[in-house]
Each structure stands twice: as C-alpha cells, then as structure tokens.
Amino acid sequence: MLSNITIEHKGYKVDVGSGFTIEERQAFYKDKSRILHKKVTIQYFEETENQEGGISLRFPTLKMIHGEERDI
C-alpha cells in the first residue's frame, strides 16, 4: 500500500502522506503510473526549514491530481 509520495517544492524534495483514501493508496501501489510524474495540488499550513537548511512543508496534504498538465 502507498504510504507517501515525494514532490518537488521550490527545488526541494518533500514527502506528502496525507490526503489519500485507502482505495487510492491500494490503486497507486498496484499501478504506479496512475500517480508517477503527475501534477498535483498540495495544501499546507506553512513552509518550514528542514534539517539540512532547505525548505519543507508543515502538514502537506494531497488535494488534487491533475494528470500530465495542470488546468487552471
């Protein structure tokens, strides 16, 4: 089962583990192409500094999967 995804935010890798249903976690684990290299919207409380001095996100949560391109 999928536990988290890793996104790039302002050039830094950030893990996002919240916002997925159990069904999505199972489906994405079975077929990674459904989430791999897709554009996503992540909601977060604030930007923070990680242990290496880079940028991280506080309480990142998946809100939407857009696909290959993001419609605005």
**C-alpha angle 64-43-3 in degrees, rounded to nearest 5:** 70
User: pLDDT at residue 32 above 70?
Assistant: yes
Average pLDDT over residues 51-64: 95
User: pLDDT at residue 27 above 80?
Assistant: yes
- Residue ranges covered by each domain of the chain: 5-67
> What is the CATH code for 5-67?
2.40.50.140
Nearest alpha-carbon partner for 36 in 61, 72, 67? 67
Task: Provide the mean pLDDT of the chain.
Answer: 92
User: pLDDT at residue 72 above 70?
Assistant: no
Model pLDDT, residue 70 = 64
| Paired sense of beta strands 61-67 and 39-43, if any | antiparallel
User: pLDDT at residue 68 above 90?
Assistant: no
pTM value is: 0.84
